[in-house]
Amino acid sequence: MTQELMTQPKVSNFNDDPMLVRKAFAQFPSGVAVLAVDIDNEKHALVASSFMVGVSLEPCLVSVAVQKSSETWEVIKGARSLGVSIFGKGQGDLTRKLASKDRAARFEQVAIEVNESGSVFVEDAALWLECSIHDVAEAGDHWMVLLEVSKLGVGDNEPLIWHGAKFRELVDAHSIDVK
Ligand SMILES: Cc1cc2nc3c(=O)[nH]c(=O)nc-3n(C[C@H](O)[C@H](O)[C@H](O)COP(=O)(O)O)c2cc1C
């Protein structure tokens, strides 16, 4: 028999409180990716915590939700291929730099590798993927972008974690429990 406790309801309407949606979504931890490409010797970066792997294994698909207001997306959406780097431990400042408002300054003093197809990869990341755009669907105020992975490389660095609008690091669960 299920026991019903007299507690606050688990869920409530949020229409009159848009900040609550942000707070709720921030409770879901994720990694952080940067989509980066070199077009005519200019480098472009789009940092996204909505990035997700494992959408499909065959073909190998990942996804990212891009704000419709993104100026960078308008530039990079026509690229033949995109480099994706998953930020690693200790790369919080770099993440903010690559997402800064000053688009021209994003890559100043950033260690990168550009390959023959123009994909740009960040050094010391946790994971690198070379992707092409597979499909784009409208999703409210975002574009839901499916990327097909053509090449990948697994780095040595652990991933950076984004949670509660803060950068965090992974900790083994057992090391928290054992005192
Ligand atoms: C930690 C972090 C996560 C972000 N996640 C996303 C995201 O998932 N999707 C998105 O469109 N923008 C995201 N942004 C914002 C973009 O990186 C970028 O700042 C924004 O698109 C404006 O720049 P743009 O006009 O050059 O695209 C994120 C920024 C930060 C710092």
Residue 112: what pLDDT? 98
Ligand 1: which of 67, 68, 142 to mutate, judged by most atoms within 8 Å of the beta carbon?
67
52, 63 in Cβ contact below 8 A? yes
Dihedrals φ, ψ of 164, to 5°? 60, 35
Mean pLDDT split into 10-residue runs, the chain, 179 residues: 75 91 96 98 98 98 98 97 98 98 96 97 98 98 98 98 97 74
Going along the chain from its start, the domains and CATH numbers come out as 30-177 (2.30.110.10)
Q: What pLDDT sits at residue 132?
A: 98
Residue 71 CA, closest ligand 1 atom number: 25
* CA-nearest residue, atom 1 of ligand 1: 49
Residue 49 CA to ligand 1 centre (angstroms)? 8
| Residue of minimum CA distance from atom 18 in ligand 1 | 99
Nearest CA to ligand 1 atom 28: 48
Residues whose beta carbon lies within 6 Å of some atom of ligand 1: 32, 46-50, 65-67, 70-73, 95-96, 99, 103, 162
Amino acid identity at 121: F
- Tell me what pLDDT residue 6 has: 73
For residue 22, what pLDDT is reported? Answer: 94
Phi and psi at residue 34, in whole multiples of 5°?
Answer: -125, 125
**What is the pLDDT, as a whole number, of residue 176?**
64
Report the nearest-CA residue for atom 26 of ligand 1.
72
Q: Order of strands, edge to edge, in the sheet holding 61-67? A: 42-48, 33-39, 82-86, 127-139, 142-154, 61-67, 52-56
